[in-house]
Structure 1
Amino acid sequence: MIPISSASGRRVLFYSHDGTGLGHLRITLNAATAYAKLRPQDSLLLLTGSLQIGAFDAPANLDFVKIPAMPKRDLYASLPPTAGHTGSHNSTIRIRTALALTTVQAFDPELVVVDHAPAGLFRELAPSLAWLRAEGRRTPLALLMRDVTFGIEQTRTIWAKEGVYPLLEEEYDRILIYGDRHIFDPIEAYGLSDAVAARTRFCGYLAPPPPRRSPHEIRSEIGAGALPLVVVSVGGGADGGSLLRAYLTGLRDRSGPPLFSYVVTGPLLPDRERREIASLSKDVANLTMVQFDPDFSAAMRAADVVVCMGGYNSITEAVYFGKRPVVAPRVPGAEEQVLRAEGFARLGLATVVGPEHLPAQVLWEAIETELQRTTPLAAPPAFEGLDAIARELALLAAG
């Protein structure tokens, strides 16, 4: 029986580092929201470096502590460097580490939920985790782990360097994977021990929040009418310039039947690229381009074709709404996105283009093929991740 509001309240700390994008913030907030439905009596606190924390809905019993954002790291360049770190991030990690520890000590959580980075970004949570285990304390720890962390060798190298394997072995009570091992199996890929595997749960993929607008409403709002609708997303946008250029270049040259394009460039698209994209989109018919859409899932549901990068939310939300997305994984350093995209493609759930080279012609051939496709989508994976994660966390909290 899952504990609900009749049980005593707990203090629960969530951590989402979100160095540049929006994905992990959205995932953490969605998990916290699902948890809050089971245990509305608990006090939830989110520790995050995201600049976009105010852009998304959050449960009423959640507050947040904002630590310095990595994209703003130049503001902290005058601080003394952090021992053991080099590069422009080192002074920022120093202040983030101190603020994280102070927050943990002041809030004194009875459950800690860490997303994606078991030791925190560049081990910034290590002092906090040590404090939670000091003097005989045994605060439950849960790791939320996406289907693919990074590339296989990259993940193994980072985890060995940052001491993650001992943390998983000795400290974490649950590893909750929001994925499906038929698409990617991190236990095997990353060499997790039998002991860690026994505390690991494959929870399924995360369903997006219900859209607030109907397909008719979103089509009317953006001016698409009854035209075929292609929806394009590059996530936060920090590294989405190449996909946007390829899409708009091909759109300008296209001579096929009319369609409508809804392009979301992301709030983190660099200014130089934003100006370039604005120039490419000038005088293009049947195009609406926005920086951000907090109800983007409504556009996904209304789309005839979804074009996206290989991020977790982009692919899984498209598949959730019955689309077979055209996926261009991020370059460079996109092995995580490539592994995910290829895993979905193997099951007939995505079409992959790139990633090394993405000519507009190649991208648009895939889009036109998808516009003409009449075969139904293959059976999708389970999307029960939020409920499964919430149940596991509630059991840990009830302890």
Structure 2
Amino acid sequence: MMRRLEDARILMYSHDTFGLGHLRRCRTIAHSLVEDYRGLNVLIISGATIAGAFDYRARVDFVKIPSVIKLRNGEYTSLAQHMDLHETLKMRQSIIRHTAETFQPDIFIVDKEPMGLRGEVEETLSYLKTRGTTLVLGLREVMDAPHLLDAEWKQSDTMRKIDRFYDMVWVYGPPDFYDPLTGLDVPAGVRAKMNFVGFLQRSLSHDEMPDHRPEGDYILVTTGGGGDGADLIHNVIDAYREDPSLQHKALVVLGPYMPARKRRKLINKGAKVPHIKIIEFDNRMEELIAGAKAVVAMGGYNTYCEILSFDKPALIVPRVKPREEQLIRARRAAELGLIEMLLPEEAEDSRRFAEALKALPDRPAPSRSSPDLRLGGLVNISELIGDWLDERSRPHFTVVEGAS
């Protein structure tokens, strides 16, 4: 069954300053919702520099705002060198507000940053609340180390603002995996709004397989956006050079945000290892992960969902600064037996890393360790949207039997 709507609109905000995680998560949710609800239109506001490199289904579109990038020290800077950060943030804030005024969404979903980058969404939240828009905050199952998140949110009074503005808080993970607000003083009002929807399951598109997929078995090495992934890929190449008996074919995806100088260096270095093939980027990572025997990654949220969705043995070498999100996620997943983890300094030991890589394809799949793992996030979000539509009780809703 599919619910048909004359017109319902969802606006999504994805600030995107370092990688691709926020946009890819928003896009996954948007595509799932337009499959379930005809007449639903979704517009994604994104700061990702390559937002246009992805395919979007009918009734899903995006608005590109000027890009801001996060530096390795955690600070931000404007991507446009001729504009300072303050000017760029003013432009972003204005475009976000104007888009909301023009699009007039029924639901506004904000990804991860409750008030947006440097508070750029707060004005729009205030405006939309006055006109009755349902406001939803979507949080990763792991945000950051509690002491870091607590300090950041206290400085900007974020928890009080979440309680004031938002109608719902969706956590994109199951409650028994991790609580993103653990260690924080959470008001009862915010707790009451929280719904742990589960991990967001990924599936294959019906398009042709990407040209980059190698023939035969391979392990996939991915660092997500690639902005801080060069060290991991250097370590993989060094492991292959250290141990000639490591002969798994490896497909390495550098990521679109890897600096050009580091990219060239890795391509030249990898060309000397016959078992390694390096590509810069593929916008359909689901297909590459689905075709792999195993995955080596830093363990961002989206990659992790893909590892679980396609049930692939995985070796995770997490980022440990400036945020500890990947480290927390990897430790919890390793504790549950879902993945194997090496710390970055452990991966620098080429002999140890080579042994882990050799054993990886024979490691049990995640489902062997946790057969009840829930990947129901998209289904649960769809049901929450359906409940919201029922509450609205619009007289022009009809149910189309047997639609697909």
Structure 1: tracts of 5 or more residues without a match: 80-88
- Residue 91 of structure 2 corresponds to which residue in structure 1? 95
Deviates more, 1:154-163 or 1:204-213: 204-213
* Distance of aligned partners of 1:255 and 1:100 in 2 relative to their CA distance in 1, 3 Å threshold: same
Amino acid at match of 1:16: S
Deviation at 1:8, TM superposition (A): 3.5
Superposition TM-score, scaled by structure 2 size: 0.87
Separation (CA, whole Å) in 2 of partners of 1:362 and 1:356? 11
After the TM superposition, which residues 231-242 of structure 1 pair with which residues of structure 2 at under 5 Å, given as runs? Answer: 231-242=220-231
Partner-residue secondary structure (3-state), 2:281: coil
Deviation at 1:184, TM superposition (A): 0.8
- Residue 153 of structure 2 corresponds to which residue in structure 1? 159
Amino acid at match of 1:73: S
Amino acid at match of 1:307: V
Separation (CA, whole Å) in 2 of partners of 1:259 and 1:146? 33
After the TM superposition, which residues 1-399 of structure 1 pair with which residues of structure 2 at under 5 Å, given as runs? Answer: 4-5=3-4, 7-71=5-69, 73-75=78-80, 77-78=82-83, 89-134=85-130, 137-210=131-204, 212=206, 222-225=213-216, 227=217, 229-256=218-245, 258-356=247-345, 358-359=347-348, 360-373=350-363, 377-380=368-371, 381-397=373-389, 399=392
Deviation per residue, 1:127-179 (Å, 9 max, x gap): 11122234xx3211011111011221111122222232122212211111111
Deviates more, 1:339-348 or 1:284-293: 284-293
* Distance of aligned partners of 1:54 and 1:373 in 2 relative to their CA distance in 1, 3 Å threshold: same
Deviation per residue, 1:169-202 (Å, 9 max, x gap): 1221111111122221124333322322222111
Deviation at 1:319, TM superposition (A): 2.3
Separation (CA, whole Å) in 1 of partners of 2:385 and 2:158? 21
Deviation at 1:50, TM superposition (A): 1.0
CA contact (8 A) 1:111 1:397 kept: no
Amino acid at match of 1:44: V
Deviates more, 1:153-162 or 1:205-214: 205-214
Deviation per residue, 1:79-118 (Å, 9 max, x gap): 5xxxxxxxxx333212111111111122222211111111
CA contact (8 A) 1:77 1:92 kept: no
CA contact (8 A) 2:144 2:180 kept: no
CA contact (8 A) 1:231 1:262 kept: yes
* Distance of aligned partners of 1:37 and 1:78 in 2 relative to their CA distance in 1, 3 Å threshold: closer
Structure 2: tracts of 5 or more residues without a match: 70-76, 393-404
Structure ranking higher in strand proportion: 2
CA contact (8 A) 1:305 1:367 kept: no
CA contact (8 A) 1:12 1:45 kept: yes
Deviation at 1:75, TM superposition (A): 2.2
Provide the alpha-carbon RMSD of the alignment: 2.4
Amino acid at match of 2:369: A
- Residue 395 of structure 2 corresponds to which residue in structure 1? none
Deviation at 1:240, TM superposition (A): 0.2
Partner-residue secondary structure (3-state), 2:274: coil
Amino acid at match of 1:377: R
